[in-house]
């Protein structure tokens, strides 16, 4: 009898570890990001996913037998991830990242399914998609799949280490990183040859930088620890995550083991470089020189207290702007968004109280935002195209829609 509490504790500990093992693949896949409306029951669906073709609504994936996936089997769940078809044969829209999830192993698929079956069932009918014609015709997805979908689990590269292969599996499969960090064409697809080369995230007005170009977010010259810190903590000595990537860190990456995050960093650092010759620094015309001077005045008054007069910042909490790839990219969307809207990196286990940046949309007009953005893109040895008032206005207007 004296051993019964100890045995019960051991059983509870075993159940906790087993539940955690099932939960990790679901967190790596970031299922919560699309299938949970903030403030509502987890995985109960109906979160809107705006696309250039209309709104898609993620389904209820709780174990409710009528409106969720409670009647599914583990095999049906795996087939859905693997083939991009629901159990009734319906083709899934590629907002569901089955083009990446097809790489997921049966073991991880079963773990995700077991975890989903363990959450409280929620009876909530799925909302119909609101897509414009002809995109509401699912038969068109056959053509998309022919062009952009290759079915099959991840196959390890025997020429690479176990750690590298683990990182490749997480990045290419569960993490579905290429969905944002690859250019998307008018059909909503991306050629495999352009994977990880960066692109504008449709309808979100953020630019996901190239992971291959060292002029953007290419990680070839980063230390492994800096990559790990950025992924798992949200801040590092090389940069900070904001916007959609902050959500990924908060919902997913902070929960992964140090070994898995390191494996991802090893793989990302190994991506082949894609650095065409850098364009010559833009000539600063008289108008741009005046804009630069106005931007310097605004920067010294509003920004230097955190980012320092010389642009070196105070990392990791106040990121540097000098030689910062996210400032120097050909797309100025991200720095303009940060000036307009500010933001916080995610609160994570390793950085629970992050420092944030205040918004300046109410304090600075379009010309002033363009001026300070032009200044930081060309000061301290930086060199990038100037930002115009029209570019700022277009982004400000889009964010207000």
Q: Which of 236-240, 304-308, 369-373 has the lowest mean pLDDT?
A: 236-240
Residue 310's contacts (CB-CB under 8 Å, 6 or more residues apart) are 322, 380
Three-state secondary-structure class, residue 48: strand
Contact 235, 229 (CB under 8 A): yes
Averaged pLDDT for residues 277-298: 82
Q: Which of 143, 128, 132 shows the shortest CA–CA distance to 187? A: 143
**For the chain, domain boundaries:** 13-148, 162-270, 286-400
Which tokens hold the place of 166?
């683990």
Residues 257-271: tens digit of each pLDDT: 999 999 999 999 998
Residues 89-118: tens digit of each pLDDT: 999 999 999 999 999 999 999 999 999 999
Give the pLDDT score at 205: 81
Give the pLDDT score at 340: 95
Residues 136-172: tens digit of each pLDDT: 899 889 998 998 899 999 999 999 999 999 999 999 9
Q: Which residue has the higher pLDDT, 280 or 92?
A: 92
Cα–chain center distance at 105: 22
Residue 101's contacts (CB-CB under 8 Å, 6 or more residues apart) are 29, 81, 82, 173, 174, 176
Pick the CATH number of 162-270 from 1.10.287, 2.40.160, 1.10.760, 3.30.1490: 1.10.760
Q: How far apart are CA 57 and CA 50, in angstroms?
A: 9
Residue 366 pLDDT class (50, 70, 90 cuts)? very high
- Percent of the residues in the chain that have a pLDDT greater than 70, as a whole number: 90
User: Directed axis angle between helix 286-302 and helix 366-376, to 10°?
Assistant: 90
Residue 316 pLDDT class (50, 70, 90 cuts)? confident
Q: Which residue has the higher pLDDT, 187 or 235?
A: 235
Give the pLDDT score at 239: 83
Asked if residue 11 has pLDDT above 60, the reply is no
3-state secondary structure the chain: CCCHHHHHHHHHHHHHHHHHHHHHHHHHCCHHHHHCCCCCCCCCCCCEEEECCEEEECCCCCCCCCCCCCCCCHHHHHHHHHHCECCCCCECCCCCCHHHHCCCCHHHHHHHHHHHHHCCCCCCCCCCCEECCCCCCHHHHHHHHHHHCCCCCCCCCCCCCHHHHHHHHHHHHHCCHHHCCCCCCCCCCCCHHHCCCCEEECCCCEEECCCCCCCCCCCCCCCHHHHHHHHHCCECCCCECCHHHHHHHHHCHHHCCHHHHHHHHHHHHHCCCCCCCCCCCCCCCHHHHHHHHHHHHHHHHHCHHHHCCCCCCECCCECCCCCCHHHHCCCCHHHHHHHHHCECCCCECCECCCCCECCCCCCCCHHHHHHHHHHHCCCCCCCCCCCCHHHHHHHHHHHHC
Averaged pLDDT for residues 71-94: 96
Asked if residue 281 has pLDDT above 80, the reply is no
* Domain spanning 286-400: CATH superfamily: Cytochrome c-like domain (1.10.760.10)
Q: Which residue has the higher pLDDT, 17 or 368?
A: 368
3-state secondary structure 177-208: HHHCCCCCCCCCCCCHHHCCCCEEECCCCEEE
Asked if residue 349 has pLDDT above 50, the reply is yes
The pTM of the full predicted model, rounded to 2 decimals, is 0.86
Contact 57, 45 (CB under 8 A): yes
Mean pLDDT over each residue of the chain, to the nearest integer: 88
Give the pLDDT score at 401: 58
Place of tokens 């051993």: 3
């Amino acid at each position: 009898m004296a051993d019964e509490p100890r045995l019960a504790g051991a059983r509870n500990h075993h159940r906790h570890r087993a539940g955690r093992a099932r939960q990790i693949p679901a967190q790596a896949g970031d299922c919560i990001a699309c299938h949970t409306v903030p403030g509502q029951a987890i995985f109960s669906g109906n979160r809107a996913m705006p696309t250039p073709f209309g709104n898609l609504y993620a389904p209820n994936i709780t174990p409710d037998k009528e409106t969720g996936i409670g009647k599914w089997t583990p095999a049906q769940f795996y087939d859905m991830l693997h083939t991009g078809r629901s159990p009734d044969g319906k083709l899934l829209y590629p907002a569901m990242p089955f083009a990446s999830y097809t790489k997921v192993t049966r073991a991880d698929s079963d773990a995700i399914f077991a975890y989903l079956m363990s959450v409280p069932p929620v009876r909530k009918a799925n909302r119909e998609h609101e897509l414009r014609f002809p995109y509401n015709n699912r038969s068109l997805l056959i053509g998309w799949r022919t062009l952009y979908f290759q079915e099959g689990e991840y196959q390890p590269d025997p020429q690479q280490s176990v750690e590298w292969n683990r990182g490749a599996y997480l990045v290419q499969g569960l993490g579905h990183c290429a969905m944002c960090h690859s250019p998307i064409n008018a059909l909503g697809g991306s050629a495999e040859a352009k994977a990880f080369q960066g692109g504008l995230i449709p309808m979100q007005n953020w630019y996901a930088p190239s992971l291959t170009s060292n002029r953007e977010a290419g990680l070839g010259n980063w230390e492994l620890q800096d990559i790990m810190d950025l992924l798992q903590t949200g801040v590092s000595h090389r940069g900070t995550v904001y916007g959609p990537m902050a959500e990924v860190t908060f919902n997913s990456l902070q929960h992964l083991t140090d070994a898995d995050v390191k494996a991802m960093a090893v793989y990302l650092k190994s991506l082949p470089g894609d650095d065409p010759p850098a364009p010559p620094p833009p000539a600063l015309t008289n108008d741009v020189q005046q804009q630069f001077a106005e931007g310097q005045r605004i920067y010294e008054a509003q920004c230097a207290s955190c980012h320092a007069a010389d642009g070196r910042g105070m990392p990791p909490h106040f990121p540097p702007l000098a030689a910062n790839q996210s400032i120097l990219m050909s797309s100025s969307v991200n720095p303009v968004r940060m000036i307009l809207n500010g933001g916080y990196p995610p609160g994570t286990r390793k950085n629970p109280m992050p420092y944030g940046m205040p918004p300046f949309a109410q304090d600075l007009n379009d010309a002033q935002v363009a001026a300070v953005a032009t200044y930081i893109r060309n000061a301290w040895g930086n060199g990038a195209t100037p930002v115009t008032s029209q570019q700022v206005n277009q982004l400000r207007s889009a964010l207000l829609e």
